Amino acid sequence: MLYERIGDGRVRCNLCMHRCLIANGEYGLCYVRVNRDGRLYSSVYGRVVSRSVEPIEKKPLFHFLPGTCAYSVATVGCNFTCLYCQNHMIAQYPREHGGRILGEEVSPREIVASAMDSGCKTIAYTYTEPTIFFEYAYETARLARAEGLNNVFVTNGYMTPEAIEEILPYLDGANIDLKGISTEGYREVTGGNLRPVLHTIERLSRAKIWVEVTTLIIPGMNDDPQALRWMAEAICGISPVIPWHISRFYPAYRMRHYPPTPIAALQEAERIGREVGLRYIYIGNVPGQGEETYCPACGDPVIRRRGFMAKENSLQDGCCPACGSEVEGFWFAA
Ligand code: SF4
């Protein structure tokens, strides 16, 4: 899907904002899309490297059918090269192995059937980047929608506007990574650009897809108070009801020499986010901290969580039981 032939056997892939120009026999940057004689093929279609039933809270999506499970699925590959990737073994596998693909063959129909058999309300396209297994996610999402299941993307948001429009009719929610607010920093750490990510957050929100944003706070990289303020303002400018998950960094992959994020830095980010006007902020990767949802009007707790499990949900028709104010979210299954 979403490529064009541009002569000399070359093609342009228009799936993600890298818009790779790919010569015959070559791969795109993600190493999962290959040009064979002027046709672009996805080498990960139906090749599932990971699938499991998980609480939707683990995506993280805190305002999306709390207490339900998501059937989570991934192929190998990614269009980013994040230096701190927790899933680099599968995300970077094709790039680090010259386009080699791992994974069992599972059809979209089998994914939908397994999700229904396991009592999941949602299929989550996650762990790696759903954009690079777009055709597989698209077909699965289409079938899932017909069976009354919901679909969520956990994504770096680097899709093209064309890809967004293709998947929009089948998407119900998304958690989008906002990895920083500096253009240079984004390129250095991820290999991508900031602006398309903001566009994705905005476009999905405008289309009434339920969006939550995650930022991994990395000491010395994006924890500067001004940068945090700009990030919070960027999200709030799109919509103050977008939940912001500020996550603790632990040393990983090529950033093992960085220290874990001090708790104080996360609390400072939370403070700034509230000051800017975001209604829902959660501290992630710190068990027992920042997991509750509070009514934005009266401050009463309305959902209590422990370790990615919703333990108590007192919302009544999406409203606070104490003051009756709306608490925004995707609370009801289709
Ligand atoms: S999906 Fe892959 S091939 Fe297509 S533009 Fe993005 S990195 Fe390039």
* The architecture CATH gives domain 47-290: Alpha-Beta Barrel (3.20)
**Is 94 touching ligand 1 by the criterion CB < 6 Å?**
no
**Is 34 touching ligand 1 by the criterion CB < 6 Å?**
no
List of the chain residues with pLDDT < 70: 334
**Is 44 touching ligand 1 by the criterion CB < 6 Å?**
no
**Is 19 touching ligand 1 by the criterion CB < 6 Å?**
yes
Tell me if 56 sits within 8 A of 70, measured CB to CB: yes
CA of 2 to the centre of ligand 1 (A): 10
> Which residues touch 208 (CB under 8 Å, ≥6 apart)?
none
CA 15-20-205 angle, 5° bins? 30
Specify the residue for token string 């899907």: 1
**Is 198 touching ligand 1 by the criterion CB < 6 Å?**
no
CA of 226 to the centre of ligand 1 (A): 32
Which atom of ligand 1 approaches the CA of 14 most closely? 5
The whole-number pLDDT of residue 257 equals 87
Q: Where are the domains of the chain?
A: 3-42, 47-290
Nearest-CA residue for atom 4 of ligand 1: 13
CA of 136 to the centre of ligand 1 (A): 15
pTM of the model: 0.96
The whole-number pLDDT of residue 334 equals 57
Pocket residue to mutate for ligand 1, from 12, 21, 33, most atoms within 8 A of Cβ: 33
The whole-number pLDDT of residue 256 equals 86
Nearest-CA residue for atom 3 of ligand 1: 28
Distance (Å, whole) CA 107 – CA 311: 34
Which atom of ligand 1 approaches the CA of 22 most closely? 3
